Structure 1
Amino acid sequence: MPVRNNIKRIRKERGIKQLQLAEDLQVTRQTLTAIENNKYNPSLELSLKIVKYFNLPIHEIFILEEEEKECKRIWESGI
């Protein structure tokens, strides 16, 4: 199941520059770009650092594609 993330949206909403976030997380800007564009999934360690950095529940940052489809199906069926 593919994993998507909301890192770019959250970062922009909070007015954090990509380079600043990359430096704070101790990764390159290129790595952060790949993660934000869903081209690369971060390691568990980096994922937990991101969750801690934004102080949000993991499900608000990372989404399993299958999970999203199931939620949409339930919503559309009116259950």
Structure 2
Amino acid sequence: MDLVQLLGENVRRLRKERGLSQEELAFRAGMKRSYLSDLERGTRNPTVRAVGRLAQALTTTPDHLLHRDF
């Protein structure tokens, strides 16, 4: 699995664990819901800034979003 897909799966898993909709997470991270949807599906390459914003909105760290075994 490549890193883009891994990031998307981890973001989706954490979002659901925290009971957030895509719309709510996108709002908290300061991005559009369609961009978040693309990231979760692994069809868009994230920026470093987006990874940082998502980590903050999910109350985790960027490296946790890119970790394979959590």
TM-score bracket for the superposition, by shorter chain length: 0.7 to 0.9
User: What residue number does 1:29 align with?
Assistant: 33
- TM-score (norm. length: structure 1): 0.68
1:1-79, aligned counterparts within 5 Å? 2-3=2-3, 4-5=6-7, 6-63=10-67
Structure 1: stretches of 5+ with no match in the other structure: 72-79
- Counting aligned pairs with the same residue, the percent is 25
The whole-number CA distance in structure 1 between the counterparts of 2:62 and 2:30 is: 20
TM-score normalized by structure 2? 0.76
* Higher-Rg member (1/2): 1
Task: Report which of the two has the higher share of strand.
Answer: 1
* SS of equivalent to 1:39: coil
Q: Distance in 2 between matches of 1:25 and 1:58?
A: 13
Q: What RMSD over aligned residues (CA atoms) do the two structures have, in Å? A: 2.0
The Cα of 1:2 is off from its aligned counterpart by: 2.7
- Equivalent residue for 1:75? none
CA distance, structure 1, for counterparts of residue 37 and residue 26 of structure 2:
9
